[in-house]
Amino acid sequence: MLNNVCVITIKVSNMKESLAFYTGVLDFKISKEYGPNIVSLQHESIPIVLEEESQETVKNSVLIAIQSDNIHQDFQWFKDKEVSILSEEPEPCPPGLFFVIEDPSGNQIEILQFMN
């Protein structure tokens, strides 16, 4: 079932400043850099990912990801339930495939299947 939170993404407007805060102030270590706009921090339980976006496009500052074992089946399940889905199909991302749904209040939730 889709009730396993697997990633927490924190949307940031400036990666350099954010990395200085998370590593210098909160003492996180960088786990992996997926490019200039996506950085994973070392964390023992749920991975924490910083993702840079322009301030104008950031809707949610924190985004949880729920793990899927079958992304295409779950995509269809949400579609059948008439849940708001923000993409036409699952899309590739560094760890696998994902799509984003919205809850009734407009909060975004990422559905993610690890492939790598």
**Domain membership of residue 28 as a residue range:** 5-114
Structure tokens at 23: 């590593």
Give me the pLDDT at residue 60, please.
59
User: How many domains are there within the chain?
Assistant: 1
Place of tokens 């708001």: 84
* CATH code assigned at 68: 3.10.180.10
Cα distance between residue 79 and residue 20, in whole Å? 40
- Residue ranges in the chain modelled with pLDDT below 50: none
Give me the pLDDT at residue 38, please.
94
Give me the pLDDT at residue 113, please.
97
